[in-house]
Amino acid sequence: MVEVVKYGATGRRKKSVSHVIVSPGTGRFNVNGKTIEQYFPREVDRSVILAPLTMTNTLGKFDAEAKITGGGTTGQAGALQLSLARVLSAIDPENKNILKKATLLRRDPRMKERKKPGQKGARKKFQWVKR
């Protein structure tokens, strides 16, 4: 019996968390039970997600199953990109150098700034009236 090797990784961006499991295959890509075209209708998000695969020339060589929670579509796309990059670097050390030079293995630290008390938002103040 042949054992199928599976690799997994986690990626985060803003409030989104992505868990991806990659195995050798034909290029099937499922996100929360849907195809990548159904889950991410915008072409920009799909190109962001597939950037690690295109840079390492592994676009049709792996099947991926992803579970994403939290955030919006752009944050989820960034989280999925990071998790895919981490998986590809774990599969082949040569990929790690390629992805590191493209800064795809770096987590984006930017988060939403919290609302402060006595203000309307994070930066915006209430309107000031002199008289």
Q: Is residue 33 part of a domain?
A: yes
pLDDT at 59: 87
Q: Which two tokens stand for residue 44?
A: 């920009």
- This prediction has a pTM of 0.88
Q: Is residue 29 part of a domain?
A: yes
SS3 64: strand
Range of the domain at 56: 7-101
Q: Is residue 118 part of a domain?
A: no
Rg (CA), the chain: 19
Q: Is residue 63 part of a domain?
A: yes
CA distance 57 to 1: 29
> Which secondary-structure segment (H or E) carries 63?
strand 62-69
27: left (phi over 0), alpha (psi -120 to 50) or beta: left
Q: Is residue 30 part of a domain?
A: yes
Q: What is the CATH number of the domain that holds 69?
A: 3.30.230.10
pLDDT in tens, the chain (131 residues): 667 789 999 999 999 999 999 999 888 999 999 999 999 999 999 999 999 999 999 888 999 999 999 999 999 999 999 999 999 999 888 989 999 999 999 999 999 999 999 999 999 999 999 98
Q: Is residue 124 part of a domain?
A: no
For residues 50 and 60, the answer to whether their CB atoms sit within 8 Å is no
Q: Is residue 11 part of a domain?
A: yes
